[in-house]
Structure 1
Amino acid sequence: MLPGLDEDQLRVLGEVGQAWARVSDDADLRRHELPVDPDLGGFPSAEDIGPDRFGRMVRVATLGTATAPEEAVPSSGAARAAYRVRHALIGAPLKSTAVTRERMRKLVALPVLSADALSSVAYGPEAMLAVLVLAGTAGLGWTTPIAAAIAFLMLAVGVSYRQTIRAYPHGGGSYIVAGDNLGRVPGLVAAAGLMTDYILTVAVSIASGVAAITSALPSLSPYTVPIGAGVIALLLVGNLRGLRQAGALFAAPTYAFIIAMFVLVGVGLSDAAGRDFHATPTPHLNATEGVGVLLVMRAFASGSTAMTGIEAISNAVPAFQPTEWRNARTTLTWMICLLITLFAGVTALARLDGVVPRSGETVLSQLAHRSFGSGPMYVFTQIATAAVLLLAANTAYNDFPRVLFLLARDGHAPRLFLRLGDRLAFSNGIGVLSVAAAVVFVAFSGNTASLIPLYAVGVFLAFTLSQAGMVLHWWRLRDRHWRKSLFFNATGCVLSALVFVTAGITKFTSGAWVAILAVGLFLLVTTRIHHHYEEVRAALRLHPQAIEVPASPESPPHEECDPPAPPPEPPPPPAATSAVTAGAEPVVNGTVREDEESPEEIRNLSIVPISTLDLAGMRALAYAASLRQPVLALHLSPGEAEADRFRGYWHVWGDHLPLEVLVTPYRATVAPLVHYIEALHEQQPQLTLTIVVPEIVTRRRRYRLLHSRTASRLQRALRTLPKIVVTNVPYHV
């Protein structure tokens, strides 16, 4: 995360350090004169702690002896009501928590990471049949060859993603693979396809889940849209609370669905065997189209939506138990075998039983009715189907914010998507996904058939670019077995491109244009955001003429922070008492006194949180040093490597101010900073702590959301602590 400094910047940094040396005292003396001990230990690493049984939330020790203050309750009625509603829905902020990785066994990872792919069996075959039925009985005759082609496509793409896992053992989604091998723009296009896929995954999965419910309870059909919107709201609240995939809890619905599908296919094929596999005649169909190449291509593209979610395992390789990449490949193989078997079984059963799509009841529900009647097994099948579809929607809530995080890390999305919320979830990304999915779901009235045309475009665009990137990767690497790997990825690339082009052409007027337009707009916006960040980065580069330094040496007037005796003054009248006396206790009955009435009574320590040594950071350091009070620079680092790199830059500058580097591997910024300030306050309650925060201020209003407001967030977090001052030093660009 720390921007690197090139040789020219290092040279300028050294020159700036020489200018500071002319107005600075000895660094060791300044550290000795600090009124606190800045070394408070550190947070435990993510590898040293484990998640609780049903999530990833774990308690970790705070720094020093600090205890988090109680959260302030707003005083006004409306604000208090909003505060209570927020706490009831989302929960109280987690002060001393961290997010750690959840290591999964293969038997747990299979249902958790395969829910999206396996659940597509509930709507993929139906989407294919919904196109073929337009040509009547003649069109349905193409069911078997098209299903066979889709099954081969599943196998080819699955095998190609096995090669991706081998090449990217630490996780390689389409954005990473395409960006690394094809360049920035293809990577952004792949990310656009992925994010479109995740939004539609939520919309389509919920639409299909609600369809499973209304098929069993037809009286609920008029309430499809409200039910679906309510489910999205529940997913939003649940994910904002920080609920995450937790092995056994989320594995049950997927395994229940797999069992239900195998029983359904087994019973159906057994019944068909009793009649020598003679197909049951379909209901009378009025053909509205003739059988042609365009119809077959449309059916192939619609049925291929059963492949959504295949890349989830390649994204989550680090979540597996060691050896991660080997376990991930094994799990991917199991998933592909299950997906092909269930897809082929449901399609064959629909063909043998003469089932065609009809309004008011899904194909899966019709098959279950034929095999189980309306008994308990039918109810179990519908419940399992609805549950796994909702779980598939929740999978997008884990992946969509992560892609936004990666885009923000690379400067293609606002940095607010780097931020963890109060419950240690990527709240901003979760909110964007919920709003986008709700808009799509409501706009298409929760109709799965209307949403499917949008689906295939984004999915197979990401597949195509990912596999094309892998082809180039193997061509450049040429290690052992590179020809075999290149062949598998090239096959997956060609077939995925075929589906993408087919879907784009045949379903353009049916809604595919929306997905294509969304990809274009996404590329435009992310490119503009990256251009702005590049302009800001250029404006913040170090220049000797633009560097501010303190005008005079900063000499802390007092080494101790106990209040000195007040200057001589006339004695008070006998009946009066002095409001402030020398040696008065700073803490009375557990409460820090805030009754300083003169500048001499205030003892101050300036803390400068600094992420990088650029013009904004150097200006904040110069401002803090000019106050002629002790100054402590604080750098938060996500790992030891970055911490060492920053210490090296600090040494090149000249180590003119005391520096404390805090390693906090939890991706959060404000929470660890608040913990550190709380610990310093606990160490010296009578000390006034001034937090000097560098802040970028853009002259154009539309760019303001692209920069964090750390100062305001610190003010909200620290307002309950006495003697804490938060100020920002603006740098205008």
Structure 2
Amino acid sequence: MRSEELGETLLPKRLALPIFASDPLSSVAYATQEILLVLTVGGTAFLYLTPWVAACVVALMVITAVTPTNITMAVIPIAAMVVAAFFDFGRWKVRHWNRLLRTEQAPAIRGAAHRARIINRFGAVTTALVLVIVLLTKFTQGAWLAVVAALLLRLMMRGIRRHYDAVAAELAVDDLHAESVRPSKVHGIVLVAKLHKPTLRALGYAQAFRPDTLEALSVAVEKDAVDALKEQWAAFDVRVPLKVLDSPYREITKPVVGYVREYRRANPQEAVAVFIPEYVVGHWWEHLLHNQSALWLKSRLLFTPGVMVISVPWQLSSAPKADHPVRRAPGAVRRGEPAANVDNLPRTGG
């Protein structure tokens, strides 16, 4: 029988079987490719919601395809843990959409939430099925690590949740009047290493805060430096009293912290505000050269109740947004022109 005559002809079973048997055979042969195609098309919606999930799945497929069998077997625990994480993520998303649907009234948002919940439910069920199959078939080959990791992750998350709940309970306001009592006085302390621009800025900021009492505090690490500081303090007529602490072992942090804590014990109703001048630098290696003493002092003082630590920044020239000094162009003083910032002046040479 010719091929052109088959379109309008009813064939008996003995003829139809050998003719059409090739089609189901070919479908069986290429079933894997067809299934992958269907899964790829069906996963596009999930890819739209969580692209990183799809990227992880693709990465695992590539690793499984290009690596030898022994390495593939080593990847099984990782794959099991990833599938468990995806399952937990899908379950969490379903709970998220359920909470949203209980309170949301807008029809458009509710419709989008319903569609997203269906997609996440499908993903959760699929990953749960894959997880069960992997655990049943590969448990002794490393899939048990997924169970251990899931339990540890669960315990860690519950511990974090309990910590946040405990902190929230600790910070909750029970008595507004009792919690909003102001300190009787505020005592300001400005830490001074030498009398330079950052120190003067810190003194000015401290005076602008208008504490009830204010003093400058320095540590006598070197006797010559302390004598020079006292002479400068008197020469510039700084209107803030200067107190110098002895430090026979050339230590800075311990004398300052001890002085502040002793003041707090003697005056428990007062608050102490400590002003610390700090340099703002622009290069990573400059952090190793500056502010080390300030960091140690802040880390110790922050654990002292009733003490507030205030950083007063001074931008060095290397800082990205430093306050650059101003200069005058030649003849500007004679012409009465104002000073211009160095960034706005034309560059000459180089």
TM-score (normalised: structure 2): 0.41
Q: Which has the higher strand share?
A: 2
Give the TM-score, by structure 1 length. Answer: 0.22
